[in-house]
Amino acid sequence: MVNGPRTYRKTDPADRAARAAVVFDLRIAGKSYRQIDTLSQDPNGPTNGRRISTTTAKELLYEEVARRIDPRVETWRAVEAERLEGSLQRLDLLAEKAWVILDTDHVTVSQGRTFENIADPGPALQAIDRLIKIEEQRRKISESLRKLFGVDAPQQIEATITEMTPQDVELQELLNEAKAKMEAQQARLLGNGGESA
């Protein structure tokens, strides 16, 4: 390598916070992550040409939302919730259309001829596949809404810690020794009983 390896540069926290604020304001203005990516590449844009990729924009946005205690956070949540609810409504319309296709009888068409008595399962299978994909999208949107409003509470794990005193350890050792002696004695008795019979 002529110039040598590229050195790792850690992002300045103040610069990252400033970029997070820009992303936050652009999202409140209704810009998508892709639009933010495009705007950030413009030398006259909000970041003076310093690109913020869609992935980085998402990370910065979530950091900024977590950092802020600001009425604009509620505005952002409302914008996001409205967008997600709009997506759910569009999915409902698509699902209705898929159900219509699924409930309709389809006839086979081959080389321009229709065969009335031969059912074509293709459209029904495609409708089923589409309904499955719609349900997956609904689940993802539901997860996003739960995260957005903090409904998913952290799971509580109950753990029991038992302290053992030296006396407890000594007692356990005595019990283990007595058990071992008893098992050895039982084995001898069973061994002797088998030889005399």
Q: How many domains does the chain have?
A: 2
Same domain, 130 and 99: yes
Is residue 91 one of the residues assigned to a domain?
yes
- The answer to whether 40 and 50 are in contact (CB under 8 A) is yes
- The answer to whether 54 and 98 are in contact (CB under 8 A) is no
Is residue 85 one of the residues assigned to a domain?
yes
Q: Does position 102 have pLDDT exceeding 80, yes or no?
A: yes
d(CA 189, CA 135) in angstroms, rounded, equals 68
Same domain, 56 and 109: no
pLDDT computed for residue 139 by the predictor: 92
Collapsing DSSP to helix, strand or coil, 3 comes out as: coil
Looking at 24, 47, 68, which one is the last position of a domain? Answer: 68
pLDDT tens-digit series, residues 20-33: 999 999 998 889 99
User: What pTM was estimated for this model as a whole?
Assistant: 0.44
More confident residue, 105 or 10: 105
Same domain, 87 and 58: no
Indicate the residue type of 41.
Q
DSSP assignment of 136-151 equals HHHHHHHHHHHHHHT-
Is residue 6 one of the residues assigned to a domain?
no
Q: CA of 65: how far to CAs of 34, 46, 119, in Å?
A: 19, 19, 54
pLDDT computed for residue 145 by the predictor: 85
> Rounded to 5 degrees, what are φ and ψ at 90?
-65, -40
Domain encompassing residue 44? 11-68
pLDDT computed for residue 10 by the predictor: 64
Same domain, 107 and 134: yes
Looking at 19, 45, 68, which one is the last position of a domain? Answer: 68
Q: CA of 64: how far to CAs of 8, 41, 92, 115, in Å?
A: 24, 21, 32, 61
Same domain, 87 and 120: yes
Q: Does position 113 have pLDDT exceeding 90, yes or no?
A: no
d(CA 171, CA 43) in angstroms, rounded, equals 76
Same domain, 54 and 92: no
Same domain, 54 and 89: no
Is residue 142 one of the residues assigned to a domain?
yes
d(CA 60, CA 12) in angstroms, rounded, equals 13
Is residue 52 one of the residues assigned to a domain?
yes
pLDDT computed for residue 96 by the predictor: 93
pLDDT computed for residue 196 by the predictor: 47
Long-range CB pairs of 103-107 (<8 Å, 24+ gap) are: none
Looking at 68, 100, 117, which one is the last position of a domain? Answer: 68
